[in-house]
Amino acid sequence: MTIRLPWRVQNLADKIISACHYYANRRANERRPAGREFKILFCVPFYGYTGGAFAVLSAANLLAESCQVSFLTKASNVMNRYVSRKVRMVDGVAEPYDFCVIESGVDEAVISRVKRDGACIILTMHGAPATADGAKNYGYSDEQIADTLKAVDSIQYVSDVQSPFFQNIAAIHRRKIPNYVLPVRKTRRGRAVGLVCDTTLSHKNADAGIAAAELSSAGRIEIWGRYHNRRSTARIRWNGFSSNKARIYGSFDVLVHLSRLENQPLVILEAISAGIPCVLAPLSAYDGFRGVEGIYFAQSDDPAAVARAIDQALDCPQETRDGLVRFWDANFSPDAVLAQWLGYLKEVRKRKEQGVQTALSS
């Protein structure tokens, strides 16, 4: 039985945990190591936890292995717990930076300050364009995005599905760099199906995944993420949200993700890193997974087809699962993505320096 705390109690607990991470980080970073390649400030609007914000901070954590990285935040920010000790938390802009990585919605005064001090401004984009019925998975208005684009030197995005965002801004430099995920180690194998998402969001289409899983030969269905008014049964277990990746992916053997709108969901990358086969809806965002053994596609409105794909995935050999891990290592591991980020930063800086030199000589 899951015990749910009253919202006010949970909110207070979250703020205390966030503050503890904040002040511990400030103490740990009183003396910063010098001599790293770039100085980078990451700015994410204070709007609570989202997968996009988590992905941005994951990039900050990754770059902190090679660069001096700071994160503009405050003690009550729920995202503090996802920031590495190697990333310095700051409550203001008190020094110049080589780069400032932002999301849309960041305070214009912050952007103006770091730009005035010489930073290259990089807009990191993780949302997918809205569908024809108006559904979208990002919280920014078109005006916020347009205003931010006026200030940036380059755009970093994660998937080709985002290309409609760039139709009217062809002149802005941009680079596709995928998200990375840390490896999730899975040691046991059974016949459980898993769904990992906010099941209260209609575009996640969780009920379709559950219905198909019930038609399959899976012995158990594990559901992770926010939910409302659901009860576990002998076969279906509602687990709620957890940050324990080993616990989540250790509980099932096939991931089912039938979302109607996605960009590059981390749950799929995490499952692949653990060698877990995936059953996906045939979205264009997943074109890069086509032809990869262990990735199965089925129309979400055909539960029988999804169930057959689940059974295929449950029965796939260990060799296929090992191949998924190798695919993650080559494309979405920290080493693979860090190399792309460092090359990108060098290119952005070179372009800006050449632009300044051209301006001075003209």
Report mean pLDDT in 10-residue bins for the chain, 362 residues: 61 82 86 74 85 89 94 93 94 93 87 92 82 59 71 90 75 90 93 96 95 98 95 96 94 97 88 98 92 97 98 97 97 96 95 65 34
pLDDT of residue 311: 98
Q: Which residues, 6 or more positions from 248, have their beta carbon under 8 angstroms from its beta carbon?
A: 194, 196, 224, 239, 242
DSSP string over 247-265: HHHHT-SEEEE--SS-S--
What is the helix (H) or strand (E) element at residue 132, kind and residue range?
A: none
pLDDT at 166: 74
pLDDT at 1 (0 to 100): 45
**Model pLDDT, residue 142:** 67
> What pLDDT does 138 receive?
57
Residue type, 14: D
Q: Read off the pTM.
A: 0.82
Domains identified in the chain and CATH numbers = 7-25+36-176 (3.40.50), 192-332 (3.40.50.2000)
Cα dihedral 65, 70, 72, 78 in deg (nearest 10): 30
Give the model's pLDDT for residue 131.
60
